[in-house]
């Protein structure tokens, strides 16, 4: 196997990210954001809804994501695996449930910050 360093890093990152879905603070954060059964106006069905920590709207599970308040890759870009792993598998107080719309905006802004910093690394 003769992958480039970049390809190898991307592979390891996606593997770690997949594993982080089972990180207990992640689902604990989701459980804490639970507000109750609500009618989903789009589908006209009742389902579990969660509070977005940013816009304070209530959303069905599929429109909620768990966000790292301090991003996994900061404005300085990828530093080393210790930093990356510690930030990815972080305590619950660095996690928040956000809606997909808010998450998109936050991730975009973090990306812009990294660019301003002079780094092309992506989360």
Q: Does 53 bind Zn ion (CB under 5 A)?
A: no
User: Measured between alpha carbons, how far is 107 from 66 in angstroms, rounded to an integer?
Assistant: 12
User: Measured between alpha carbons, how far is 66 from 96 in angstroms, rounded to an integer?
Assistant: 6
- Residues β-bridged to residue 58: 51
Q: Cβ distance 66 to 96 under 8 Å?
A: yes
Q: Does 33 bind Zn ion (CB under 5 A)?
A: no
Stretch that binds Zn ion, among 29-37, 55-63, 80-88, 114-122 (CB under 5 A): 55-63
Stretch that binds Zn ion, among 23-31, 61-69, 95-103, 114-122 (CB under 5 A): 95-103
Q: Does 35 bind Zn ion (CB under 5 A)?
A: no
Residues that bind Zn ion in the complex, under the rule CB under 5 A:
52, 54-55, 99, 102
């Amino acid at each position: 196997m003769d992958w480039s360093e970049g390809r190898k890093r991307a592979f390891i990152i996606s593997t770690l990210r997949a594993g982080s879905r089972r990180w207990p603070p992640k689902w604990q954060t989701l459980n804490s954001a639970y507000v109750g059964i609500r009618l989903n106006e789009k589908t006209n069905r009742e389902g579990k809804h969660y509070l977005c920590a940013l816009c304070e709207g209530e959303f069905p599970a599929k429109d909620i994501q768990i966000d790292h308040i301090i991003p996994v890759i900061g404005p300085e870009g990828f530093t080393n695996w210790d930093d990356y792993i510690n930030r990815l598998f972080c305590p619950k107080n660095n996690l928040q449930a956000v809606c997909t719309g808010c998450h998109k905006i936050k991730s975009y802004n973090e990306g812009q910050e990294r660019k301003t910093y002079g780094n092309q690394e992506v989360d």
